Chain A
Amino acid sequence: MINIDPVKALDDKVERLKKDLKSLTARIDNTQTDAAQQQLSTTNQLRDTNRKLTKTNDRITELAESVHRLERLLVALNRKVRAGETQKADFDDWPEITKAEIAKILAGQDAYARKTFTQQEAKNTRKAIAEYDRAALIAIDAAEALTTLPPNAESLWRKKYDQWRTITRRTRPEAPDDNTHASDTVAKSAGNEAIAQARQKIRARIEDAVARDLLFPAWFENMLGPAAPPGKAGDWLYTATDVVLYRLLHDVTSPADALGSPPQEQGHRRTLHDRLVVECADYRRP
């Protein structure tokens, strides 16, 4: 049936469109609610998973710790077992390195530590010494004058006393001696030679101990680990030689602490000590 009245027809159409709109709105509302619900459940799931992950992490940390404990136990146990029947390596007595050689090495290190003068510095020092000597002569003359002054010549007393005191507050600089330089050179080369020989002997004994699977002293294992780390045997041997040499040179006898107490003052010993601590920490790392 066709509606002849155009206004009526339009009304109908509007009515139908309104109905469509209403149904569309209802559907959109439904979808929105669904999406919200879904999001909520996903968030919950994520939170759950996170919690589980954290728990797993904690567990892994615990496991790692216990593995580490076990590792240390194993090392100690290994040592105990070997201590039962294995021969022990002796890195504490070195009859083949004489006191004279040690003295030579120490003298060489002292020579290296001593300040060497450059030409200009030597010139300046000589100038300062000459100036000091001149001041000393003046001061001595002033003191000489003090022995004859009459007691009421106040300004003279003051002047001479001040002149005297210029020297008591100063010290004469050390003379740059060419002889010292020459003897230092000799001491340095002698020290280098002695150190090379001592190193050779120490290294030979450590290599022998490694080859015969001897049990290392406790301080040695504490410092350098139970064995050379794979692929780094050369470096490890070098550091081990240095540690033994350090003990020998500086009279460290502690059975547990390889390097003894750290030296307070700056110098060659301090540098070596710090270097060895760093290097050995590297070798002990798993």
Chain B
Amino acid sequence: MAADPFARLADRQHALRTALRALQAAGPGSPDFPSLVAETDKEVTAVMEARRDVEAARLATPNRALAAATTTAALIVAVGWFDAWSLLSLLLATATAAAVLVDPTGRHLLEPRARTTAITAALIATVATPLAHGWATAITAAGIAWWAWRTLK
């Protein structure tokens, strides 16, 4: 099996194509259709996982960078525009950034992109905190909700 995630995705896609030929040849009425569907489902899952690995490889560094930027921005905002009510937004953004820093891609099929969304929302919220104060928390919360929705569905 190829070590490069791109090559592996191509590999898996090829395997899925082979499984699909068998499935199409059998047709929905044939008696072994259910077992073929189960087999193809395994291949489809493998393809989805290979794609997730590609995405993870592509997004790990940007996610980390965004998380680091969010943490720095949160510190700067906390010191420069200090306000007790703003701290809520800054704390939540920092917590999100910490989670993404530790694990930038996650384990679920659609999680890398969802984490990017969440950390981008946290960065925007941090930057918006001097204007919106504590209300910027809503932006981070929306990002987290989006992340959860994509991951847990």
A15 within 8 A of B: no
Which B residues, 45 to 61, have Cβ-Cβ distances below 8 Å to chain A?
47-48, 51, 54-55, 58
Main secondary structure of the interface of B (DSSP, over half): helix
Given contacts A168-B37, A168-B41, contact A146 B13 (CB under 8 A): yes
Task: Note all chain B residues with C-beta closer than 8 A to A133.
Answer: 28-29
22 CB < 8 A contacts A-B:
A137-B28, A143-B20, A143-B23, A147-B16, A147-B17, A151-B9, A151-B51, A151-B54, A151-B55, A152-B55, A152-B58, A154-B113, A161-B48, A161-B109, A164-B44, A167-B37, A168-B37, A168-B38, A172-B28, A172-B33, A172-B34, A175-B29
Q: What are the nearest 9 A-B pairs in CB distance?
A: A151-B54, A136-B28, A147-B13, A133-B28, A147-B17, A168-B41, A151-B51, A147-B16, A154-B113
- For the complex, is A158 an interface residue (Cβ under 8 Å from B)? yes
Quick one: given A147-B13, A152-B58, are A171 and B34 in contact (CB under 8 Å)? yes
Which of chain A's residues have a CB closer than 8 A to the CB of B29? 133, 172, 175
Interface assignment of B119: CB less than 8 Å from any CB of chain A: no
In the complex, what distance in Å separates the CA atom of A132 from the CA atom of B27?
12
CA gap between A282 and B102 in the complex, in Å? 76
Interface residues on A, range: 20 to 34
Residues of B within 8 A of A (CB): 6, 9, 13-14, 16-17, 20, 23-24, 28-29, 33-34, 37-38, 40-41, 44, 47-48, 51, 54-55, 58, 109-110, 113
Indicate if A148 sits at the interface (CB-CB under 8 A).
Answer: yes
**Closest beta carbon of chain A to B132's beta carbon, Å:** 29
Sample of 9 more A-B contacts, CB < 8 Å, known A132-B28, A157-B51:
A137-B28, A146-B44, A146-B48, A147-B17, A151-B54, A151-B58, A152-B58, A154-B55, A158-B110
Is A140 close to B, CB under 8 A? yes
Q: With the chains together, A75 CA to B38 CA distance in Å?
A: 64
In whole angstroms, how far apart are the Cα atoms of A146 and B23 in the complex? Answer: 15
Q: How far is the CB of A234 from chain B (nearest CB, A)?
A: 50
